[in-house]
């Protein structure tokens, strides 16, 4: 009898539970977008991803010994989601979070919750787990009431995993669970615990993954070691759209320690017993020249490159209104080059093909898509592909994760029985990962004589922000094998989430707004999702234009924003940031120092974030540094305030890096940014002296995604601070010292 790792795992797992019955998943739909649930909504009346996976035992199982296992289809990407989800489950089950084991994205064990992306995990999975846990607590209480023969209202919980009755009577969850089926659908509107008596939510419970990460525990897919595991390296030209010309395959195949050269069409990989042998063999093969297979890379700037390509205009907003007469119009163009995700750890996957079944460990954000892609690529029945999420280095969007998972599966398929570990090299990650799209925005706004903004026009241009694969036509290996798989036509992500147009609709109350997204489907350079998608660019532009308008009217940039903002939560974060920053007493631009702010509600749907920064410029060189940054964020109920602060601090530093110094560089034949020397990022000497993150407390309010909320406001705050400091506005990223120096001129 054939038994896959997945079957064994499930069997081992099922054997341990008292409550487990038939497999609890519902059928799923294929189509998905970042942040959307992976399944069809079978119960639209339920909250979060209970809509697509309503069975309680798909989320929570309790064994007879009261061991609690919680399942999520979302994955840990370094954002601390494991910890936050455990906290949510613990709160609503009313148990110690330490008693919960969390299982993350695994095609054999967890609900398909689509991608872990777009700051959606707390809304989708957190909300589902919260309500599932409340349902389970209710069922446990009702069952205990029956056993004790009392009314459920007389029973209570106290955080210790027991149901307490009058006169010291109590039953542990395990005792009750032993004879209770959780294979039932969740009910809507089950009472949640009162936020005033929260024990776990709202506390900075230490992250569960950090101890292993600081002591060398096996924390990453890179650390997975399986019996008989072989090491593979992939052979490609220097970047997307190139391939090696006649690599010396025969000579390398004979090298000692080389197990196999895997070749299928243009797909080429070397497998060796030792990792270093695989790398040495790869280097020998790479000594071959390369050729370009795609059209030459454009050597023009982002505006020329994008406007030369066919584009499709998508109207985002077309609101006319107001009768006031404009007296002052400002028009400006803002640009961003192509950016790299730049994970510190190049993408990696482990694949094992055994007895006709493929198991893949991957750090992809879409583990169910890894499964679909591999099944399609290898012609395997989807049931025979098992994909398991294992952490990698932070990805910040679609890096090489999905490609390397398909690469590893293809290699493992050729070497049945051997687990294959494949890690890309540094230059392969830079050369082949989908990039964050180059973009530009044309903005025009007009004010009346009362300093009211009366007209607003926003045109944003970009190549696709979503080319995430769910077939073999979405990954590199699929394009290389014979016969090749066809890449699907890229589609824009519709608003309200949006792709290139994400956050192009200002939250400000403006009477007339006209916003158009010029979607450029053709990609001279392969692009896909990068943290905050178009949000970084659009907010960079909008928030700078606010400062330009304020300057032209001679009013404070914060006042202009508040004068056009009716959303109280938005006003609150701006006001809180201003208070903590000391905005009203800030150093005014003196050629050397300056302060600026940026605000957005991510997607106009998620966390509200205001960032203020002070920069200091060295006039002699144009070099500058952010002295301090203060952020205020409202993410609804903050499950773990320290983890929220961690995300926002990280977003601020990453956005300073993107905005100030990053740019993918090219020659007609290939990308020339291939390492940390040719693609420098922010280092310790350049990070701010201090970053403060202040969280607006919103007890019991719905979760709002936070992980990407800081990118746009931080980029804008930097540009505005710089403009305040030097008195000249820079609108083309990266805002390099060279540009600053040119703007300052000779001193």
Is residue 360 within 8 A of residue 420, CB to CB? The reply is no
**Minimal distance in Å, beta carbon 274 to other proteins?**
7
| Among the listed residues 2, 149, 196, 215, the single contact to other proteins using CB under 8 A | 215
Distance in Å, CB of 530 to ligand FES, minimum: 16
The closest alpha carbon to 512, from 579, 458, 577, belongs to 458
Q: Which of 178, 692, 700, 737 binds other proteins (CB under 8 A)?
A: 692
What 3-state class would DSSP assign to 135? Answer: helix
Rg (CA), the chain: 27
Report if residue 444 touches other proteins, rule: CB under 8 A. Answer: no
Taking CB under 8 A as the criterion, the residue among 98, 216, 310, 554 binding other proteins is 216
Contact letters for ligand FES, residues 73-112 (x by CB under 6 A)? -----x----------------------------------
CA distance 611 to 709: 10
Q: How far is CA 539 from CA 56, 336, 441, 486, 609, in A?
A: 40, 12, 10, 35, 11
Asked if residues 297 and 668 have their Cβ atoms less than 8 Å apart, the reply is yes
How many residues interact with ligand FES (rule CB under 6 A)?
Answer: 4
Q: Give me the torsion for CA of 541, 544, 546, 552, rounded to 10°.
A: -130
Instruction: Give min distance, CB of 683 to ligand FES, in A.
Output: 12
Q: Under the criterion CB under 6 A, does residue 690 sit at the interface with ligand FES? A: no
Neighbours of 450 (CB within 10 A): 10
- Alpha helices per DSSP H over 37-96: 81-93
217 contact, one of other proteins, ligand FES, none, CB 5-8 Å limit per kind: other proteins
Q: Between 531 and 570, how does the x/- string for binding to other proteins read (CB under 8 A)?
A: ----------------------------------------
500 is an interface residue for ligand FES by CB under 6 A = no
Annotate each residue in 307-346 with x if it binds ligand FES (CB under 6 A) or - if it does not, as one string: -------------------------------------x--
- Residue 198: how many CB atoms within 10 A of its CB? 17
Question: Which residue from 39, 73, 78, 636 is in contact with other proteins, where contact means CB under 8 A?
Answer: 78
Report, in Å, the least distance between residue 683 CB and other proteins.
6
Q: Decide: helix, strand or coil at residue 695.
A: strand
Binding mask 237-276 for other proteins (x = CB under 8 A): -------------------------------------xxx
Cβ at position 460, least distance to other proteins in Å: 26
CA 4 to chain CA centroid, Å, is 31
* Residues near other proteins (CB under 8 A), total: 69
Residue 600: strand, helix, or coil: strand
641 binds, among other proteins, ligand FES, none (CB under 5 to 8 A by kind): other proteins
Site string for other proteins, 389-418 (x = CB under 8 A): --xxxx-x----------------------
81 is a site residue for other proteins (CB under 8 A): no
Contact, 128 vs 48, CB < 8 A? yes
Q: Which is nearer to other proteins, 14 or 690 (CB)?
A: 690
Q: Judged by CB, which is closer to ligand FES: 344, or 738? A: 344
350 lies in the binding site for other proteins (CB under 8 A):
no
8 Å CB contact between 407 and 234:
yes
Asked if 210 interacts with other proteins (CB under 8 A), we say yes
For 625-687, give the DSSP string. Answer: EEEEEEEEEE-SS-S-HHHHHHHHHHHHHHHHHHHHH----B-SSSB---STTTS----GGGS
Residue 426: CB minimum distance to ligand FES, A: 7
Q: Which of 13, 198, 220, 290 binds other proteins (CB under 8 A)?
A: 220
Q: CA 131, CA 102: separation in Å to the nearest integer?
A: 16
Out of other proteins, ligand FES, none, which partner does residue 79 contact, by CB within 5 to 8 A per kind? other proteins
Distance of closest approach, residue 78 Cβ to ligand FES, in angstroms: 5
Of 470 and 711, which CB lies nearer to other proteins in the complex structure? 711
Q: Is 287 in the site for other proteins (CB under 8 A)?
A: no
Task: Please spell the DSSP secondary structure of 265-314, one letter per residue.
Answer: TTEEEEEESSHHHHHHHHHHHHTS-EEE-SPPPP-S-HHHHHHHS--EEE
Q: In sequence order, what are the residues at sequence separation of 6 or more whose Cβ sits closer than 8 angstroms to the Cβ of residue 657?
A: 681, 682
Q: Which residue has the tokens 């209710």?
A: 138
Q: Is residue 117 within 8 Å of residue 529, measured between CB atoms?
A: yes
Q: Which is nearer to other proteins, 549 or 626 (CB)?
A: 626
Nearest approach, Cβ of residue 677 and ligand FES (Å): 11
Cβ(92)–Cβ(410) below 8 Å = no
- How near is the Cβ of 394 to ligand FES at its closest, in Å? 4
**Cβ closest to other proteins, residue 207 vs residue 386:** 207
Contact, 235 vs 244, CB < 8 A? yes
> Pattern of binders to ligand FES over 363-402, x per CB under 6 A?
------------------------------xx--------
What backbone phi and psi angles, to 5 degrees, belong to 548? -65, -40
With CB under 8 A as the contact rule, the residue among 11, 45, 166, 218 that binds other proteins is: 218
Q: Which of 228, 685, 745, 746 binds other proteins (CB under 8 A)?
A: 685
Count CB neighbours of 348 within 10 A. Answer: 27
* Closer Cβ to ligand FES, 394 or 589, answer by number: 394
Interface with other proteins includes 149 (CB under 8 A)?
Answer: no
Query: What residues between 618 and 637 interact with ligand FES by CB under 6 A?
Result: none
Spell out the residues 6+ positions from residue 92 whose beta carbon is closer than 8 angstroms to its own. 129, 130, 131, 133, 134, 137, 192, 193
The distance of closest approach from Cβ of residue 116 to other proteins in the complex, given in angstroms and rounded to an integer, is 13
Closer of 126 and 650 to ligand FES (Cβ):
650
Tokens for 285? 């093969």
CB of 687 to other proteins, least distance (A): 4
- Is 337 within 8 Å of 663 (Cβ atoms)? yes
What is the separation of C-alpha 178 from the centre of its chain, rounded to a whole number of angstroms?
39
CB neighbour class for 625 (10 Å; exposed up to 12, middle 13-18, buried from 19): middle
| DSSP category for residue 438 | P
Nearer to other proteins, 23 or 276 (CB): 276
Q: Please report, as ranges, the residues that interact with ligand FES according to CB under 6 A.
A: 78, 344, 393-394
Q: Please report, as ranges, the residues that interact with other proteins according to CB under 8 A.
A: 77-80, 204, 206-207, 209-220, 222-223, 225, 231, 274-276, 279, 342-346, 391-394, 396, 423, 425-426, 641-643, 645-647, 649-654, 657, 675-677, 681-685, 687-688, 690-695
């Amino acid at each position: 009898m054939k038994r896959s790792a997945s079957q064994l795992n499930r069997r081992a797992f099922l054997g341990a539970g008292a409550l487990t019955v038939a497999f609890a998943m519902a059928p799923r739909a294929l189509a998905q977008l970042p942040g959307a649930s992976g399944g069809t909504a079978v119960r639209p009346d339920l909250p979060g991803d209970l809509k697509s996976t309503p069975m309680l035992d798909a989320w929570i199982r309790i064994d007879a010994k009261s061991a609690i296992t919680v399942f999520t289809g979302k994955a840990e990407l370094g954002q601390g989601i494991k910890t936050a989800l455990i906290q949510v489950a613990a709160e609503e089950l009313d148990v110690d979070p330490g008693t919960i084991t969390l299982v993350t994205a695994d095609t054999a064990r967890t609900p398909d919750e689509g991608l872990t992306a777009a700051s959606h995990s707390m809304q989708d999975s957190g909300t589902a787990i919260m309500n599932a846990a409340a349902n389970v607590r209710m069922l446990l209480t009702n069952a205990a009431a029956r056993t004790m023969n009392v009314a459920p209202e007389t029973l209570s919980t106290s955080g210790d995993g027991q149901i307490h009755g009058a006169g010291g009577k109590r039953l542990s969850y395990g005792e009750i669970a032993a004879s209770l089926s959780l294979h039932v659908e969740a009910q809507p509107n089950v009472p949640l615990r009162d936020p005033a008596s929260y024990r776990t939510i709202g506390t900075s419970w230490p992250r569960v993954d950090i101890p292993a990460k600081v002591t060398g525990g096996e924390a990453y897919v890179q650390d997975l070691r399986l019996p008989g595991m072989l090491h593979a390296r992939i052979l490609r030209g220097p970047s997307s759209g190139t391939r090696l010309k006649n690599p010396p395959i025969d000579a390398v195949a004979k090298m000692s320690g080389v197990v196999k050269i895997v070749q299928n069409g243009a797909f080429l990989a070397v497998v060796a017993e030792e990792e270093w042998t695989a790398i040495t063999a790869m280097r020998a093969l790479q000594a071959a020249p390369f050729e370009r297979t795609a059209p030459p890379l454009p050597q023009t700037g982002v505006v020329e490159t994008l406007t030369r390509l066919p584009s499709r205009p998508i109207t985002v907003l077309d609101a006319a209104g107001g009768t006031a007469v404009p007296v002052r119009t400002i028009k400006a163009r803002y640009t961003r080059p192509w950016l790299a995700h730049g994970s510190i750890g190049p993408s990696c996957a482990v694949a094992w093909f055994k007895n006709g079944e493929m198991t893949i460990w991957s750090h992809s954000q879409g583990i169910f898509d890894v499964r679909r892609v591999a099944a399609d690529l290898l012609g395997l029945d989807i049931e025979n592909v098992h994909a398991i999420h294992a952490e990698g280095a932070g990805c910040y969007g679609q890096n090489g994760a999905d490609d390397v998972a398909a690469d590893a599966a293809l290699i493992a398929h050729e070497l049945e029985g051997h687990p294959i570990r494949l890690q890309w090299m540094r230059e392969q990650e830079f050369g082949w990962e989908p990039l964050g799209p180059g973009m530009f925005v044309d903005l025009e706004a007009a004010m009346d004589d009362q300093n009211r903004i009366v007209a607003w026009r926003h045109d944003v241009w970009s190549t696709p922000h979503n080319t995430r694969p769910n077939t073999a036509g979405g990954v590199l290996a699929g394009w290389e094998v014979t016969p090749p798989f066809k890449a699907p036509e890229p589609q824009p992500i519709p608003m309200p989430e949006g792709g290139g147009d994400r956050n192009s609709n200002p939250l400000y109350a403006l009477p007339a707004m006209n916003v158009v997204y010029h979607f450029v489907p053709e990609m001279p350079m392969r692009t896909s999702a990068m943290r905050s998608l178009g949000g970084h660019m659009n907010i960079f532009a909008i928030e700078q234009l606010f400062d330009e308008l304020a300057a032209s009217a001679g009013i404070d940039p914060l006042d202009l924003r508040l004068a056009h903002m009716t959303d109280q939560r938005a006003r609150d974060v701006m006001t809180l940031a201003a208070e903590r920053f000391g905005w009203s007493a800030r150093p005014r631009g003196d050629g050397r120092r300056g302060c600026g702010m940026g605000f957005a509600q991510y997607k106009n749907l998620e966390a509200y974030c205001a960032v203020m920064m002070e920069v200091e410029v060295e006039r002699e060189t144009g070099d500058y540094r952010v002295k301090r940054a203060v952020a205020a964020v409202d993410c609804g109920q903050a499950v773990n305030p320290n983890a929220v602060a961690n995300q926002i601090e990280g977003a601020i530093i990453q956005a300073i890096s993107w905005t100030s110094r990053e740019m993918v560089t090219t020659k007609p034949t290939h990308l020339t940014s291939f390492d940390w020397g040719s693609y420098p990022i922010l280092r310790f000497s350049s990070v701010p002296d201090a970053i403060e993150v202040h969280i607006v407390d919103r007890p019991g309010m719905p979760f709002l995604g936070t992980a990407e909320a800081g990118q746009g406001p931080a980029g804008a705050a930097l540009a505005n601070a710089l403009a305040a400091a030097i008195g000249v506005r820079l609108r083309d990223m990266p805002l390099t010292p060279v540009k600053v120096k040119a703007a300052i001129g000779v001193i």
